[in-house]
Amino acid sequence: MVPSSMALRSLINFSRFASTYSKLGAYSSFTSQASPVSEPATFSDRGEDKYANVNWDELGFGLVPTDYMYIMKCSLNENFSRGELNRYGNIELSPSSGVLNYGQGLFEGLKAYRREDGRLFLFRPEQNALRMKMGAERMCMPSPSVDQFVDAVKQTVIANKRWVPPPGKGSLYIRPLLIGSGPVLGLAPAPDYAFLIYASPVGNYFKEGLSPLNLVVDDEFHRATPGGTGGVKTITNYGPVLKAQTRAKAKGFSDVLFIDAVKKKNLEEVSSCNIFIVKGSVISTPATHGTVLSGITRKSIIEIARDYGYQVEERSVPVDELIDADEVFCTGTAVVVAQVGSITYQGKRFVYKTGAGTVSQRLYLNLTGIQMGLVEDKKGWIVEVDGAFS
């Protein structure tokens, strides 16, 4: 069943929650200015059985500090062990830390959703954990196990549950970070590492909201090169796009669509999301061969599209195929599925079908329906946050 747009945006009566935290000791993987949780506390005695004081109707994609963050540490050639929740706050790092000097850091992004019965759910968190492990290997870093990662995410959501928006009003965006926190002067892996998670309630990623995006192809700047780190979610992948993105937005575009750095003829990614083009019953997307990130939303949309009978091709997609495409859309944790209204390439503007009845809308409604509990999850993608620490 595909839910209607109205169902996806429906409101509910607020639910009240009662849950008790486990006792947590002070903990820090490096010097932290955040206050550790040192006393048992309940939602009721902190007023956390209610929603936070947020104007949910005006929620965008900006940082809204919540109550708690998660911290866990280890040294090089060791394994991560038990972490703790701290009050959300600033951290201190050595000026010679690996992350500050050599960009030795990874991040992930996933969301928690509130359903109409008040329960909270995550979408495929184990995939984020596996992607971080892959990225950590590339960056010579230890990483949390899949179970540690998922458990830490659950703890962070539970601790910040009053910040999870009402159904249809947004989601709680969760940002896990893995950084080289230890000091290092010569070029080498850092001696110590920290795994952190913080969260923020968010609405639509683009200022256009659900309106179609207007992209521009940039053939001067590139976000990734063969043999680099474009295929893993390292922090160093994102700084290089800022110049092109800033220039594009100054000209009125929503974002930049990058092409490959070698032949300069194949599509790769938008600044922070994957790209798909539709022609008839065929959906094409750039293959993830080292320079394109393997997005979890991308992977999910491919599965859903194939279930609907579409032919999905993961391959090199020449930029020339933009000329006669029927539809173009982007996918990502932050953007979910965003329709593209136009793409400008070398001064020529190509316009695409958007709105009701499009392939992208059909896929969007199915994916968000699964995430929000309006469509049956037959794939086991949804993980409930049960309200108890393990």
Residue 239 included in any domain? yes
Contacts of 304-312 with CB under 8 Å at 24 or more apart are 304/363, 304/366, 304/367, 305/359, 305/363, 308/362, 308/363, 308/366, 309/281, 310/281, 310/282, 310/283, 310/359, 311/281, 311/282, 311/283, 312/282, 312/283, 312/284, 312/285
**Active-site pick, 73, 111, 154, 233:** 233
Same domain, 86 and 110: yes
In sequence order, the 6+-apart residues with CB closer than 8 A to the CB of 277 are 267, 283, 284, 285, 317, 321, 322, 325, 327, 328
Kindly state the average pLDDT of the residues 274-298.
97
HSE toward the beta carbon, residue 196, CA cutoff 13 A: 25
For residues 241 and 161, state if they share a domain: no
240 and 123 co-located in one domain: no
pTM for the full predicted model: 0.87
Q: Are residues 192 and 221 in the same domain?
A: no
Residue 26 lies in a domain: no
Q: Flag whether 308 is in a domain.
A: yes
Both 249 and 300 in one domain: the answer is yes
User: Of 203, 233, 268, which residue is a domain's last?
Assistant: 203
CATH no. for residue 92?
3.30.470.10
User: Using an 8 Å Cβ cutoff, are 65 and 178 in contact?
Assistant: no
Residues 180 and 303 in one domain: no
Q: What does pLDDT average to over the chain? A: 88
Tell me which of 175, 203, 231 is where a domain ends: 203
What is the rounded distance in angstroms from the CA atom of residue 305 to the CA atom of residue 307?
5
Per-residue pLDDT at 366? 97
Give the pLDDT confidence of 68-94 residue by residue, as tens digits.
Answer: 999 999 999 999 998 999 999 999 999
14 within some domain: no
The structural domain count of the chain equals: 2
Give the pair of three-digit tokens for residue 306: 């194939």
Residue 196 phi/psi, 5-degree rounding, is -125, 150
State mean pLDDT over 58-70: 95
Range of the domain at 132: 68-203
The verdict on 242 and 366 lying in the same domain is: yes
Q: What is the pLDDT of residue 348?
A: 97
Q: What is residue 37's predicted lDDT score, i.e. its pLDDT?
A: 55
239 and 111 co-located in one domain: no
pLDDT tens digit sequence for 193-222: 999 999 999 998 877 667 899 999 999 999
Percent of the chain with pLDDT over 90: 83
Residues 193 and 288 in one domain: no
d(CA 94, CA 115): 42
Residue 11 lies in a domain: no
Residue 82 lies in a domain: yes
For residues 192 and 217, state if they share a domain. Answer: no
**Cα gap 131→109, rounded to integer Å:** 11
Q: Provide mean pLDDT across the span 266-281.
A: 97
Residue 379 known to be catalytic: no
